[in-house]
Amino acid sequence: MITIDGLTKRFGDWVAVDDLSTTIRPGVVTGFLGPNGAGKSTTMRMIVGLDRPTAGSVTIDGRPYAALPSPTRTVGALLDAATAHPGRRAHDHLRMVAASNGISRRRVATVLDQVGLGDVGNRRTGGFSLGMAQRLGIATALLGDPEILLLDEPVNGLDPDGVRWIREFIRSLAAEGRTVLVSSHLMSEMQHTADHLIVIGRGRLIADAPLQDVLQAASLNAVRVRTPQPETFAAELVGAGCTVQRASTDELVITGASLPEIGDLAHRTGIRLHELTTKAATLEEAYLELTGAAVEYTDGAADTTRASGRRPRRKARR
C-alpha cells in the first residue's frame, strides 16, 4: 500500500504537486490521470525517491522508499522505457539490473517470457521498436517480483495486441493482491483497465473514487429516447424541467430526469416510445469535465499561466 500525505513539490516558484493526499491500495488497478503538467510523473518519482518532497510524505507499507530493506523486491517502476543502453542486449540489460539488486539470473528468462520478449532477448535494444522497449521496461520493473507496480504510460507504442496484453497483464497482477498504479492518457483503455481513479490537475487532487462512481457523477449521463412524436414529447419533457437535445429526426437525448421518470412521463402523456435507454458518459467525457479548468498547456497557454500566477517549467513533467 502507498500512502501519500500532504505531498508537495516545488521547482522554484513552480508548484508541481500541491498538498496531495491519497492512498493507493492493493488488489485493484488504480488509474492515475491528469492533463500534461498535472504532476503525475513528479508524484511517481517522489514515491520511489527520485525527487525529494518539498513538504509532506509518501510511504510504502509505512516506510519511505529509501528505508525499504530491498526496494526492487517491494516496488517495480516503469517511469521511462528508454533506459537500456542501445548497444546492450536485452537479457544483458536485465542481468545487470538483477546482479546489482541481488536477484537470480534465472529470473531474467522468466520476465522476458512474461512480457513476450523471450525470443528476442539476445537482440540489442537499440534496434527495438517503442513497443518492444516498453515491454523491456515492464520486464525490468518485474525483476524483483514486487508487491507494488508503478507504470507510467505503459501502453505507449504498443500495437492493439500489445495494448490488450498489457491490460490483461495489469489486471492479473492486481488480482494477485499487488498494488498497481498506472498513469495513462488513453481514456478508452483506462476505462477497461482501472478499478479506481485518482485524478489530479495543477498538482491538486480533483477526484479519488472508484471508476464507476466517477462515470456516474458525470453530468453528461443522459437518457436516449426514440419516438415517432419527438416534438410533442420534447415539449412535455421541457415542461417537466428536463433539458432536451434533438439527436436525429426521431431521437432525443435527455438530462435532468432518470430513465424510470422519463418512461413514466411518456406513459402519462400517451407518447409512444420505440426505444428508451441510458446514455452513459465515457471516461473521456467524465475526465474532460473534471479537468477542464486544470489544463496547463492549451493553445492559450500563455494566458492560462499568467492567470494562474505560475510559469512553465523548463522540463515538462506529466
- SS3 label, residue 308: helix
- Residue 149 phi, psi (nearest 5): -120, 130
How high is the pLDDT of residue 312?
Answer: 40
**Which of 257, 316, 232 shows the shortest CA–CA distance to 35?**
316
How high is the pLDDT of residue 55?
Answer: 96
For the segment(s) 222-279, the CATH number from 1.10.540.10, 3.30.70.980, 3.40.50.620, 3.50.50.60 is 3.30.70.980
How high is the pLDDT of residue 146?
Answer: 95
Question: Chunked in runs of 10, what are the mean pLDDT values of the chain (318 residues)?
Answer: 96 94 96 90 94 96 92 91 86 92 91 91 89 90 94 86 89 95 89 94 92 82 91 95 92 91 96 91 85 62 39 42
CA distance 109 to 112: 5
How high is the pLDDT of residue 17?
Answer: 95
How high is the pLDDT of residue 297?
Answer: 55
* Residue whose C-alpha cell is 517480483: 145
How high is the pLDDT of residue 91?
Answer: 92
Q: Which class would CATH give 2-210? A: alpha beta
CA distance 196 to 73: 24
Strand boundaries in the chain, DSSP class E: 2-11, 14-24, 29-33, 55-60, 75-78, 148-152, 179-183, 196-201, 204-210, 222-226, 243-248, 251-255, 275-279
What is the domain partition of the chain in residue ranges?
2-210, 222-279
